[in-house]
Amino acid sequence: MSVQTHRISVQTRGNSQVIDLTTELIDILRQAALSDGIAVLFVVGSTAGLTTTEYEPGLAQHDLKAFFEKIAPEDDYYEHENTWNDDNGHSHIRASLLGPSLTVPIVGGRPTLGQWQQIVLIDFDTRPREREIVVQLLGD
Amino acid sequence: MSVQTHRISVQTRGNSQVIDLTTELIDILRQAALSDGIAVLFVVGSTAGLTTTEYEPGLAQHDLKAFFEKIAPEDDYYEHENTWNDDNGHSHIRASLLGPSLTVPIVGGRPTLGQWQQIVLIDFDTRPREREIVVQLLGD
Amino acid sequence: MSVQTHRISVQTRGNSQVIDLTTELIDILRQAALSDGIAVLFVVGSTAGLTTTEYEPGLAQHDLKAFFEKIAPEDDYYEHENTWNDDNGHSHIRASLLGPSLTVPIVGGRPTLGQWQQIVLIDFDTRPREREIVVQLLGD
């Protein structure tokens, strides 16, 4: 068994933009020639998170954003914003809740996703960001 | 170190049913003769998630469901439901929030769970489903 | 590739206290002489969870706690509390939502965290607890 480190870089618009990373992961698996093991995806930074969803416009462009705005509204009071005099307290809360890591089994060179299940980054920050996702592959 | 792929299939009732998978994982570990490593559990599909809880009727049959209904109500407006003319926008939101994967250390052939901590699937879909959970084992 | 099991023990105050575990993980990696692989952190018990955040007083001592109190209030009705005649239904809900495990890539002996991204335990129980976090290392 071997360990390989790969990286995905994406330019985001922030503001809860949902970005599909599935194709990038499949490309990495092809280069890596990994057949069976796991892919650990980890987003560097504390204002974005990773999960899976059905990547269609309703969920990706509206429903996920509306949900996070409802449970952790942008204009609530956050002490974090006093610490740094900034505006992204809600971004941190949403990112901690969603979590920075996702682990996906790889079988026969493919992630074991459902047909309508894609791997997504949600960037909760309040400005465009260049995001780095570390993809650690373990397996044969 | 080796990689082994196992699968758990469960029939659910959907509607935020909470299903204990701990016994199934322990059975797999026994068959696999894995002593030390990790078990990566991953639910295929975008309307269910995995976590741990104390599997007792109060939490499993009432509190978890009530909580998800409060934060992502079934009858809220979801654009996803316009895309497909269906009724499970809330199921997708809840599943993305909870996350599809769970990674558990295995030590001496056992998952390192607490005494009142069980591994559970929550099926958020609006109808009964046959669910597949991929269990990827890495270790010795 | 090898598997190593380490443990972090921390004394908490409960009540959504946020505890930075980054230094403990870095110390373990140094002892373990792990260069490249993954660290799987897993908190034993069903009333605490793991994630990452920027560990500064605003988020760590106020905002995260206020957020969880808003979405799963301590004084809501939880059937769990009837099962055991206790007071920590909200602790269980919050812990299941946040999740007990976190997987972090290790590259060159270091976790691939951002500069303002720390690994934290949040202890949601209603009393001080001695917490054990299993740290399973896989890699070379």
The CA-based angle C56-C58-C64, given to 5 degrees, is 100
Beta bridge partners, A51, equal A120
- Are A102 and B103 inside 8 Å of each other by CB? no
| Closest by Cβ to B72, choosing from A53, A58, A67 | A67
Determine if the pTM surpasses 0.95. yes
Q: Encode pLDDT of A98-110 as tens digits.
A: 999 999 999 999 9
Sheet holding A17-20, edge to edge: A17-20, A118-123, A48-53
Average pLDDT over residues C64-88: 94
In this predicted structure, the answer to whether residue C84 has a pLDDT above a threshold of 90 is: no
Distance, CA of A114 to CA of A52 (rounded, Å): 10
Q: Which residue of B has its CA nearest to C38?
A: B38
Beta bridge partners, A86, equal none
- A101 contact C CB<8A: yes
How many residues are present in chain B?
140
| Radius of gyration from C-alpha coordinates of chain B | 16
Sheet holding C129-139, edge to edge: C2-12, C129-139, C37-43, C101-107, C110-111
In this predicted structure, the answer to whether residue C86 has a pLDDT above a threshold of 90 is: no
| Pick among C18, C43, C54 to test the A interface (most A CBs inside 10 A) | C54
| Closest by Cβ to B53, choosing from C81, C84, C92 | C92
Q: Encode pLDDT of A3-38 as tens digits.
A: 999 999 999 999 999 999 999 999 999 999 999 999
**CB-CB neighbors (< 8 A) of A54 in chain B:** 46, 80, 92
Question: Do the strands B101-107 and B110-111 form a parallel or antiparallel pair, or are they unpaired?
Answer: antiparallel
Chains in contact with B, counting 3 or more C-beta pairs less than 8 Å apart as contact: A, C
- C79 contact B CB<8A: yes
What per-residue confidence (pLDDT) applies to B54?
98
What is the pLDDT confidence band of residue C27, given thresholds at 50, 70 and 90? very high
State yes or no: ipTM above 0.90. Answer: yes
What is the pLDDT confidence band of residue A96, given thresholds at 50, 70 and 90? very high
What per-residue confidence (pLDDT) applies to C3?
98
In this predicted structure, the answer to whether residue C13 has a pLDDT above a threshold of 90 is: yes
Q: Which residue of C has its CA nearest to A70?
A: C71
What per-residue confidence (pLDDT) applies to A85?
84
Average pLDDT over residues A49-59: 97
Nearest CA among A113, A93, A106 for reference residue A137? A106
- Are A136 and C51 inside 8 Å of each other by CB? no
- Are B40 and A105 inside 8 Å of each other by CB? yes
CA–CA min distance A78, chain C (Å): 6
**CB-CB neighbors (< 8 A) of A53 in chain B:** 46, 92, 95-96
- Domain C2-139, CATH: 2.60.120.460
Per the prediction, chain A carries an average pLDDT of 97
**CB-CB neighbors (< 8 A) of A78 in chain C:** 58-59, 63
Q: Is C120 in a helix, a strand, or coil?
A: strand
What per-residue confidence (pLDDT) applies to C83?
78
Query: Do the Cβ atoms of A117 and B99 come closer than 8 Å?
Result: no
What per-residue confidence (pLDDT) applies to C20?
98
Per-residue model confidence as pLDDT tens for chain B (140 residues): 899 999 999 999 999 999 999 999 999 999 999 999 999 999 999 999 999 999 999 999 999 999 999 999 999 999 999 877 889 999 999 999 999 999 999 999 999 999 999 999 999 999 999 999 999 999 99
Query: Where in B13-117 does DSSP place strands (E)?
Result: 17-20, 37-43, 48-53, 101-107, 110-111
What per-residue confidence (pLDDT) applies to B84?
79
What per-residue confidence (pLDDT) applies to B27?
98
What per-residue confidence (pLDDT) applies to B37?
98
| Closest by Cβ to B5, choosing from A98, A107, A113 | A107
Q: Which residue of B has its CA nearest to A36?
A: B3
The tokens describing C135, both together, are 């740290």
- Are B46 and A54 inside 8 Å of each other by CB? yes
- C59 contact B CB<8A: no
Distance, CA of C58 to CA of B38 (rounded, Å): 35
- Are A67 and B101 inside 8 Å of each other by CB? no
- A104 contact C CB<8A: no
| Pick among C101, C106, C130 to test the B interface (most B CBs inside 10 A) | C101
What per-residue confidence (pLDDT) applies to C52?
98
Sheet holding A101-107, edge to edge: A2-12, A129-139, A37-43, A101-107, A110-111
What per-residue confidence (pLDDT) applies to A83?
78
- B108 contact C CB<8A: no
Give the position of tokens 């926008």: B89
- C140 contact A CB<8A: yes
Percent of chain A predicted with pLDDT > 90: 96
How many residues are present in chain C?
140
